[in-house]
Amino acid sequence: MSQPTERLAGLIDRGGYAAVLFDLDGVLTETATVHAAAWQQMFDEFLRSWADEHGEPFVPFDLARDYPEHLDGKPRYDGVRAFLASRSITLPEGTPDDPPDVRTVDGLGNRKNELVQHLLETGSVTPYPGSVRFVRHVRDLGLRTAVVSSSKNCAAVLAAAGIAEHFDARVDGWDVEEGGIPGKPAPDTFLEGARRLGVAPDRSVVFEDALAGVQAGRAGGFGLVVGVDRAHQAEQLRQHGADVVVEDLEELMPA
């Protein structure tokens, strides 16, 4: 356990909160592994081609380091920019309509999404059982619930996982793009989720597994930020703003 279970059991019940906001990938569903695999395949394809063209050694995408540092929890195009900057590579921005074979920031992001769609179509989306039980518990308490995700696939994933009906509001990648809402680590998506629920941030709880996500929750002034440690990075989650860290949401259920 990331913290002693007896200190966490019933924490949300006792806190006087009115709303709970959940990230999707890695908190509610296991699709974080799907996104990570798609990022790795897309960037390795690009990096190999780039290295060949520039006479440089091929340095593959490092899933253990590059994904959490530059991509996890961020809007897709922001993640592309952050990773390319880490490799000192500059590409044209392009437009969201760029085909996935165009070498632009948006083109690479669209190639990644193409790979995600393929992986989702060929596999199943599994929610974490402890997360489902916890969501049902907080709804039984009368708390409002929302999903706040950087993914444009959020609605499809919730439906595929069979848990869409458990949430009163959703803020996703389409809202980020169409509404011009800054993505995580900015707090704006979580603030928009709280606004849609009609609950003040200081009476709301944020659940996040990404470093950028806990940063967003802390920056938004939320009453409690819970880091969900799916990637063995409990200390980093605390350093980025998590008040408490759990390995599974069921640790917060009353004893």
- Positions annotated as catalytic residues are 23, 25
Q: Which CATH class is domain 5-31+126-252?
A: alpha beta
**CA-closest candidate to residue 79, choices 223, 188, 185:** 185
Number of helical (H) and strand (E) elements in the chain, helices listed first: 12, 6
Structure tokens, 208: 């996040």
The pTM of the full predicted model, rounded to 2 decimals, is 0.76
Sheet containing strand 224-228, edge to edge, reads 169-171, 144-148, 19-22, 204-208, 224-228, 244-246
Q: Cα(98)–Cα(80) distance, rounded to whole angstroms?
A: 14
How confident is the prediction along the chain (255 residues), in pLDDT tens digits per residue?
A: 455 445 788 999 999 999 999 999 999 998 877 888 899 999 999 999 999 999 999 999 999 999 989 998 788 999 999 999 999 999 999 999 999 999 999 999 999 999 988 887 776 688 999 999 999 999 999 999 999 998 888 998 898 889 999 999 999 999 998 999 999 999 999 999 999 999 999 999 999 999 999 999 999 999 999 999 998 999 999 999 999 999 999 999 997
Torsions phi, psi for 20 (to 5 deg) = -135, 130
Please tell me the distance from the alpha carbon of residue 141 to that of residue 136, in angstroms, as a whole number: 9
